[in-house]
Amino acid sequence: MSGTDKSKAGLALDGPIVILVEPQLGENIGMTARAMGNFALSRLRIVNPRDGWPNIAAQRAAAGADHILERVELFDTVEQAVSDLDMLFATSARAHDQAKPVVGPEAATKEIAGHIASGGKAGILFGRERWGLTNEEVALANRVITFPVNPGFASLNLAQAVLLVGYEWFKRATSGALPHGMPERSERASQHQIQAFFDNLVRELDRVEFLRPAEKRDTMLVNLRNIFTRMEPTKQDMHTLHGVVMAIAEGRKGPAKGGVLDGEQATRLRALLAEHGQGGAPDSGSTVRGLARLLRRNPTDAERLLWQALTCDRRFAGQFKRQTPVGRQIPDFVSFPHRLAIELVNPSESETIVADRAARRAWLEARDYRVLEIRAADVERDIEPQLAALQAMMSQSA
C-alpha cells in the first residue's frame, strides 16, 4: 500500500534485533527490510546468506529501506549472531517437541518490550524459506513464537513472518495510534444552527403534508431529529442540507431561477451565512457561496424596491452595486465612489444576524466607509423618505 510521506521523520525505537538464518533469496531479504522499516525495526543480522552480500536483488525489493540494508551485520553461524543477546525467540510454524514456552507474537513483543526497558538485549530468529530452523537452532532460544494461522496452510513467507512480529511490536510501542484520521473540515454545528435547519425542514414537510397522520406526527419528528443528532453534523453539513431542502422546496423554476424571497426565507438564509463566516466572504467552492448567490438572485420585496430606485432614479443611477464584496465583507448595496454602504434591516432578525451586521459595519467604518441602515418595513411602506436620507448622506461626500 502506498502512502510513505518522505517529509515526515521516522520513529526511532529501541526494538528487538531481527536475525535471518541462511536466507536463500535476496528478494526476501529486501522485503524483510521493508517490513522492518514499516514498523521501526532497524537492526538486521544475516547468517550465511546463500547468494552472498551485498545483494542487488535485496536492494531492489527493499523499496526504500536502504538505511536498514546499509547497517546489516553478517555472521557465519547462528551461535555467533546471538552471542551478545540475553533473550532470544525462535519463530516456527511447526512443533519442535522442546520443553520451552510457545507464545504468539503479541505476548512475545510484550515480554521483549519489558526486557529491553530494563536494559536487556533481545533478538528473534527467522529460519530458511524452505525448511525453517533446525532443532539445534531452536534449542538456543528462550521462547518459541508461532502464529495463529490455518493449520492446513501454515507456511509464511519470510518477510510476512517478520511483518507480523513487527506489527505487534510497533502497535505496543505506539499504543496503537493511527497515523491519521478523518479530517475535520468544518466546526461542529451549533444547536441553534441544527434547530434552524430542522424548523425549515419541518415547515417544508408540512407544506407537502408529509407528517401524516396527525397522531404520528410527534413520533415522526423525534425520529427525524434523531437522524441528524446521530450524525453529529458540522456547520458545512448544515449548509449543504439546507441548500438541498431549499432546492427541493423551490423547484427548478422557483426562486433559484430569479424570483422574490419572502422575509422569512431571506432571514433564514442570512442567519446561515452569518453563522458560517461572521461576515466573511464565502469560499469559492463552498455551499455557502451558493446560498449567497441565492440571496443575490432572489431579492426580498424591500431589496427589489430599493434596487429598482437605485438603478432607475437619476439621483443614484450607476453609482451603486448590489451584493458586491468590499474586501471580505458583502454589504447589501455599496457605492465605491461615495464610499457608502447600505444595509437593509429585516424584521425578526436573530441575534446572530444582528451581531454579523454590527461586525460588518465596524469593519467598513474602520476603512472610511459610511454605513446607512434602512429598515425593510420602511422601504415597503414608503420608500421616498429613505431615498431622501440617502441623497442627503451622499451630498455630504460630494
Say which residue the cell 557465519 belongs to: 76
- Determine the average pLDDT of the residues in 3-11: 56
Cα end-to-end span (Å), the chain: 68
Say whether pTM exceeds 0.85: no
Q: Which phi and psi angles does 379 have, rounded to 5°?
A: -65, -45
Closest CA to 35 of 157, 192, 196, 135: 157
CATH code of the region 17-173: 3.40.1280.10
Q: Position 123: which residue type?
A: G
Mean pLDDT of all residues in 10-18: 80
Question: pLDDT digits over 120-170, tens only?
Answer: 999 999 999 888 899 999 999 999 999 988 888 878 889 999 999 999 999
CB count in 10 Å sphere of residue 314: 6
pLDDT at residue 257 is higher than 50: no
pLDDT at 284: 38
Nearest to 145 by CA among 250, 265, 260, 18: 18
CATH assignment of 301-396, among 3.30.70.3420, 3.40.960.10, 3.30.300.30, 3.40.50.300: 3.40.960.10
User: Sign of torsion, CA 375 379 383 387?
Assistant: positive
Instruction: Please write the tens of the pLDDT for every residue from 49-101.
Output: 998 898 899 989 998 888 999 999 999 999 999 999 999 999 988 777 788 89
Q: Which residue has the higher pLDDT, 181 or 102?
A: 102
Break the chain into its structural domains and give their ranges. Answer: 17-173, 191-297, 301-396
Give Cα separations from 222 to 28, 202, 225, 232, 379 (angstroms): 60, 11, 5, 16, 41
Contact call for residues 11 and 39 (beta carbons, < 8 A): no
